[in-house]
Amino acid sequence: MKKKLALLIAALLLLVIMIPCGVSVEGKTMLRLQIVWAEDSGRGLAIREILDEFEQQNPGIKVRLIGGSQSEQKLLTTILSGDAPEVIQIPYRQIKALGTEGAFIDLTAKFAEKENLFYEELWKLTKAEDERIYGYPWMGHSIQLVYNKTLFVEAGLPGPPNDWEELYQYAKKLTVDRDGDGRIDQYGLALVGKQHPDITWLFTMFAHQAGAKLVKEVNGEYQVALNSTEGKKALEFYVKLVNEVCPPDTGNKDGGGVMADFRNQVAAMEFQGPWGVTDIWKNGRPFEVSAAPVPAGPAGRAADIGPYMLAITTGIKGEQLEASYQLINFLGSKKGQEMLMRGEKAQDGNYYPFRVPIRKDMATTEYFQQNPEFIAFIEGMKYPSINSPIKEWVKISAEVYRSELNKAVLGLITPEEALKNIEERGNKILAESSY
């Protein structure tokens, strides 16, 4: 794979030299920023407003917004075409995958001094294997505990649970028969149980909270490591929660189903990103909602994260390169970051945040002073749960991981059997991929 990428990049560099690019129109330096959403979507329009502010402050630069996410291979193809956007929004995983292959410009000299603005674990994700910076943190989310504050007050609970034991005890207390018909109609917690990608990132959080690892390196080769004492503790706890404090149809629920249960007050807690809060706001605020750090397991806290980086594609130079640096500087500034919280326009005509900034110094800004529940989604960046530690894990997840977790949730197999199957079949996939 790396040899193929190297050949592609070599061809790219030759192509970039051969193809003349117009970088200035009517005296303005022209840039393109590609985002992962459609440019005319609510999120695209929200980002356009931020770019308008940038253009007002930098009248010599014009930024065209382009929508549409790209896979690694599609991104390379775009670069090879000689017409890649100057600045792109990419998932953090693509930094490690493509950074050392020459797809992006090295940002180390320009942005290394910004390290103290971000949590250490997040900053590590800006770098590829050569320890150079190829992406600058822009926006994202972490998955945290979203809870029905109204139900917590009614139950006499002092606040959100701090650890696994409290999560279980609070969820038990919130699992009740509210209408007195002898059947439970309110559950303490909603979890994903369906054979769906959502179950993998959610359970992986629990695994990391228990101290488990998805993979380990042995003699230079990766092996599945989840079938361990820590992994067993995590899956046994997850299944216990499903059986005792979650709705009986949890085995059929993905993340959307979990949100519906929480919204309809079938469940008092869920694990979601910032959209877990805004979903309640958009639906008439039937109760007071808040967010808190994920409860700590035996090894501490761990939250699934989804930070997006800004990268400059290789071959950009001169005025466009300097303008690209200015754009990234603005989008990553405290002002640019706070503007993200203006959010996107919903059907009710109001604006709601869709992601959060990921600088760690945002708590003092006006929006976060007024809406402190969103701070947790930034703080999660300091204890990330990485759900795809190696590229082969995507295949393991699709073919083995999610199905075995679903079987354990449904009670079709024991946690021990599920972990054994994940190990055996996962290692087979790893062995085949090494040929």
The CATH number linked to 181 is 3.40.190.10
Residue linked to tokens 């979601």: 272
What is the structure's pLDDT at 11?
44
Mean pLDDT for the chain? Answer: 92
Q: Are residues 318 and 407 in the same domain?
A: no
Average pLDDT over residues 191-205: 98
Average pLDDT over residues 106-131: 96
Q: Indicate whether 390 pLDDT > 70.
A: yes
How does residue 80 score in pLDDT terms, banded at 50, 70 and 90? low
- Specify burial of residue 116 (Cβ count, 10 A radius: 0-12, 13-18, 19+): exposed
How does residue 233 score in pLDDT terms, banded at 50, 70 and 90? very high
The answer to whether position 72 is within a domain reads yes
Q: Give the helix, strand, coil percentages of the chain, each rounded to 5.
A: 50, 15, 35
CA 421 to CA 415: how far, in whole Å?
A: 10
Q: Which of 356, 382, 408 is the last residue of a domain?
A: 382
Q: Are residues 52 and 81 in the same domain?
A: yes
Q: Are residues 309 and 170 in the same domain?
A: no
- b/e map 22-48, b = 16+ CB within 10 Å: ebeeeebbbbbbbbebebeebbbebbe
The answer to whether position 387 is within a domain reads no
Average pLDDT over residues 206-216: 98
Q: Which of 382, 407, 424 is the last residue of a domain?
A: 382
Average pLDDT over residues 161-170: 98
Average pLDDT over residues 379-392: 94
The answer to whether position 235 is within a domain reads yes
More confident site: 376 or 18: 376
How does residue 322 score in pLDDT terms, banded at 50, 70 and 90? very high
What is the structure's pLDDT at 20?
40
Task: Give the Å distances, CA to CA, from 79 to 16, 21, 98.
Answer: 9, 13, 12
The answer to whether position 92 is within a domain reads yes
- Specify burial of residue 202 (Cβ count, 10 A radius: 0-12, 13-18, 19+): buried
Q: Are residues 366 and 405 in the same domain?
A: no
Q: Indicate whether 83 pLDDT > 50.
A: yes
Q: Are residues 313 and 253 in the same domain?
A: no
What is the structure's pLDDT at 4?
45
Q: Are residues 349 and 221 in the same domain?
A: no
Q: Indicate whether 297 pLDDT > 90.
A: yes
What is the structure's pLDDT at 9?
47
Q: Which domain holds residue 212?
A: 144-304+392-433
How does residue 433 score in pLDDT terms, banded at 50, 70 and 90? confident
How does residue 68 score in pLDDT terms, banded at 50, 70 and 90? confident
Q: Are residues 355 and 402 in the same domain?
A: no
Q: Are residues 33 and 126 in the same domain?
A: yes
Residue linked to tokens 């029905």: 148
Q: Are 199 and 297 in contact (CB under 8 A)?
A: no
Q: Which of 70-74, 79-83, 387-391 has the highest mean pLDDT?
A: 387-391
How does residue 98 score in pLDDT terms, banded at 50, 70 and 90? confident
- pLDDT digits over 15-40, tens only? 443 334 446 677 899 999 999 999 99
> What is the percent of the chain where pLDDT is above 90?
85
Q: Are residues 131 and 189 in the same domain?
A: no
How many domains is the chain built from?
2
What is the structure's pLDDT at 367?
95
Q: Are residues 55 and 182 in the same domain?
A: no
Lowest mean pLDDT segment, chosen from 25-29, 32-36, 157-161, 188-192: 25-29
More confident site: 71 or 64: 64
The answer to whether position 341 is within a domain reads yes
Q: Indicate whether 191 pLDDT > 80.
A: yes
Q: Are residues 245 and 156 in the same domain?
A: yes
Q: Are residues 65 and 180 in the same domain?
A: no
Average pLDDT over residues 211-238: 97
What is the structure's pLDDT at 27?
82
Q: Indicate whether 129 pLDDT > 50.
A: yes
What is the structure's pLDDT at 428?
97
Average pLDDT over residues 169-182: 95
